[in-house]
Structure 1
Amino acid sequence: MRRLFLLLMMFCTLPAWADNLDDLFAVAGWPEQRAHFNDALTAAQERYRNNLPPAVYQALVNNSSQRFAADAMDRRAKAQMRKHLPNPNPALAFFQSPLGRKIVAAELLATRRDQLAKYAQGLPRIEASATRQLLINHLSNALPAREAGAEVTLAIAGVAADSLSSMIPGLLGSGQSQSMLNGQRQRLMEQIAGELDNTLLFVYRDLSDPELEEFATFAESTDGRSYYQAALAAIRAGLAVGQSTSSLTQ
């Protein structure tokens, strides 16, 4: 009887948890960011069009469509979020707040196709007071921006290599390709770190100092760290950098 009661309790609570995770994904802007990523991917494919043989280019498009299908990306990302974030409610409450919505709006604006094109040559330098610079420094240490940025860049760049490997198996040995990938990841994180404070100053330029402080306080809290660690795991799972398209479970 006790086992039956526990099973009934699980069936009663798991759907509510799943709804909360779906709500967190929605209010934190994950679907829009995925769409922005696919915009960037499409732009990268167009750049490859004139530089690759037609068969390789078509393989690139086909592999990209399979690897980065919206449902598959969301499924992989949510599975990791579920694994690493036992309780989504604190993060959900934060991103549902007026400040949380303002933060998400700023992040979505920064990754829009037109904004990426506008600042393709680099962001303007942002002057900031010592107080604001300190707050941004707290954020840059708390947010996994270096790691996430490296994963996105590697995902977009990796589709061509994946397509070549699918047409010429064994082109790169697994040990060699993994070593190259780790080296590229580290170099990208170092490049991002060099501009991270200015990037965050630009992205969150419409937040007041008190709002930045509240944001940093959340990001550095136990609940904030739990969310951003789970978010990074979800990004890595969704993008599946370093995994062949054929190995992904659809």
Structure 2
Amino acid sequence: MRRFISVVLLLCAFPAWADMHDELYKAAGWPEQRGHFTEALRAAQQRYQNSLPPAVFQALVNNSNQRFAPQAMDQRAEASLRQALARPQPALAFFQSPLGRKIVAAELLATRADQLARNAQGLPKMQASDTRQLLIGHLARALPAREAGAEVSLAIAGVAADSLSSMIPGLLGGGSPQGLLEGQRERLEQQIGADLDNTLLYVYRELSDPELEEFVAFAESADGQAYYQAALAAVRAGLAVGTR
């Protein structure tokens, strides 16, 4: 009887445990960030409309809509997060905390379409104390912001290159679109890294120094690093990096 009760309790607890990844995915703002990416993609498509022949533009739209279908992106990213992050509990607890919610809100605000348009010519130069600069330096090294930012840029550029290559063979000089884009990854990461401290100072400007210190402590911890490395893998999965 005792063994039966134990099995029943285990079966009751398992779905809650298994759903922690889904809770984490939502608590960390992934669905909203994917929505912001979709908005940015639509804006990028429109920028190409006046500079490409109609057939090429339509191919670009079709390719990008297929590759970046919202539901498929969420499914790929969440599946990758499940596979890469064995213990979601610490990250979930952090992002469900008042500080975690404040961090997610700051990140979502920074990637909203109106904010991206507002800062299209560059972010304002942020002033900060030596202590805050030191904390931001630690955060810049702990977060995979360079890599994730480069992947987003390459994903959008890759759709355009694929579309142009398929419609106009030989346009890229015989090289594969992905091969050419791979050469840009390091350059993009360097560009992002050059202004990363100022970007993070701007994004997290509403965090107090103690809050920023607590954020750094989580990001640098073993659990934080496990989450952020899994998050980078999830970004790449959601963007279908390497599938074109």
What TM-score does the superposition give when structure 2 sets the normalisation length? 0.91
Instruction: Supply the distance in 2 between the matched residues of 1:187 and 1:136 (Cα, whole angstroms).
Output: 22
Instruction: Please list, as runs of the form range in 1=range in 2, the aligned pairs for 1:4-153 lying within 5 A after superposition.
Output: 15-153=15-153
Matched to 2:48, the amino acid is Y
Partner of 1:158: 158
- 1:167: how far off? 3.4
Matched to 1:167, the amino acid is M
Alpha carbons 1:181, 1:242 under 8 Å: kept: no
Which piece of structure 1 moves more, 26-35 or 156-165? 156-165
The question of 1:205 aligning with 2:199 is answered no
Matched to 2:159, the amino acid is V
- Distance change (3 Å), C-alpha of 1:175 and 1:50: closer
Unaligned runs of 5+ in 2: 1-6
Partner of 2:215: 215
RMSD of aligned residue pairs (Cα, Å): 2.5
Instruction: Supply the distance in 1 between the matched residues of 2:158 and 2:10 (Cα, whole angstroms).
Output: 41
SS of structure 2 residue aligned to 1:52: coil
Deviations 1:106-158 (A, max 9, x none): 00000000000000000000010000000000000000000000001111111
Instruction: Supply the distance in 2 between the matched residues of 1:18 and 1:197 (Cα, whole angstroms).
Output: 36
> Identity percentage over the alignment?
72
- 1:177: how far off? 3.8
- 1:169: how far off? 6.3
Alpha carbons 2:158, 2:181 under 8 Å: kept: no
- 1:179: how far off? 3.6
- 1:60: how far off? 1.0
- 1:13: how far off? 5.7
The question of 1:184 aligning with 2:213 is answered no
Alpha carbons 1:158, 1:241 under 8 Å: kept: no
Deviations 1:32-54 (A, max 9, x none): 00000011101100000011111
Deviations 1:46-103 (A, max 9, x none): 0000111111111111111111111111111112111110011110000000000000
- 1:10: how far off? 8.5
Alpha carbons 1:140, 1:197 under 8 Å: kept: yes
Q: After TM superposition, which residue ranges in structure 1, 4 or more long, deviate above 6 angstroms? A: 7-11
Instruction: Supply the distance in 1 between the matched residues of 2:27 and 2:94 (Cα, whole angstroms).
Output: 10
What TM-score does the superposition give when structure 1 sets the normalisation length? 0.89
- 1:181: how far off? 2.1
Instruction: Supply the distance in 2 between the matched residues of 1:57 and 1:213 (Cα, whole angstroms).
Output: 47
Instruction: Please list, as runs of the form range in 1=range in 2, the aligned pairs for 1:220-235 lying within 5 A after superposition.
Output: 220-235=220-235
